[in-house]
Structure 1
């Protein structure tokens, strides 16, 4: 009977989700993707895309990393160089190549501007232009 309880405890250890350790500095963050902790340099991020509880971080070199994290949680870790323009997108304003009233372009990738984020984006745009 004791062997049974020991086996159950071992099974619980395998089923207990690992804590994600996100080490954040001014220049980078370590994120958990699969079994790896990956260093993401903020300067290399073009944009972040969300799908439910997962985000995809798109980098300049064409690579992307899929992470189990809510976009709202990740947004709080980013500097003011990043802005959320849609419920599913955060962009790095330095990577902006063109924009219209309804979308932003980063290296020929068109990203929509959400209606509830438009006013915040326009205010942010004014600060970019005035720099």
Structure 2
């Protein structure tokens, strides 16, 4: 995941310094840099923006004025040389506050916070996401979060859910494309598991709701990495 980012700062030197940090970060994508709030407001209307690096002290319209003008602002990391703005910053529900001069470690910490906030919001928005599947000539509504695991049965797959099992005509590969990647992982040629439902695991199995699901040897490292990221 990359956060689409803009920089708003009246100092060209400061914009260049932040742009360097943004361009060198694997989780950020630079969209544009603006020298004043009016340009930024127009830019936000015309682009999808996930994160604003925003200077507080700008002439005519300062950073706080800009935030007040936005109906649904993206995440904001405020930047200023004046520590007195720190408390006021959080009245605006900003993600973080960076004080000049900005260190790489502090910048990376702010981006991590923005990434975590983005992922939480994404998960909340997917809480009630559902799909319709066809089984026994009927269509069934299945809430994605209710799926514990998927088991391959030749030309069919079995969805093991909170409400019971549903067998549908599909390949594992085809059904896997409908699932959010951060939540589900194929841990065996015949099993895809909901990572958030795993209670414990060992070299050979994961345990979900007290039941064992096998893990292939080549998927062990990928599983451990995925569990560390949820």
Question: Is structure 2 residue 174 aligned with structure 1 residue 70?
Answer: no
Which residue number corresponds to residue 48 of structure 1? 150
Pairs aligned (count): 102
Which residue number corresponds to residue 36 of structure 1? 138
- Cα shift at 1:122: 2.1
Scaled by the length of structure 2, what TM-score is found? Answer: 0.43
Q: Is contact 2:203–2:217 with CA below 8 Å preserved after alignment?
A: no
Which residue number corresponds to residue 87 of structure 1? 189
Q: What RMSD, in angstroms, separates the aligned Cα atoms of the two structures?
A: 1.2
Instruction: List alignment gaps of at least 5 residues for structure 1.
Output: 1-25
User: Structure 2: how far apart are the matches of 1:91 and 1:66?
Assistant: 16
SS of the residue corresponding to residue 77 of structure 1 reads coil
Moved over 3 A (4+): none
Alignment of 1:108-127 (within 5 A): 108-127=210-229
User: Structure 2: how far apart are the matches of 1:121 and 1:95?
Assistant: 13
Max Rg structure: 2
- Cα shift at 1:92: 0.6
Instruction: List alignment gaps of at least 5 residues for structure 2.
Output: 1-125
> Which structure has the highest helix share of the two?
2
SS of the residue corresponding to residue 196 of structure 2 reads helix
Scaled by the length of structure 1, what TM-score is found? Answer: 0.73
User: Structure 1: how far apart are the matches of 2:165 and 2:173?
Assistant: 19
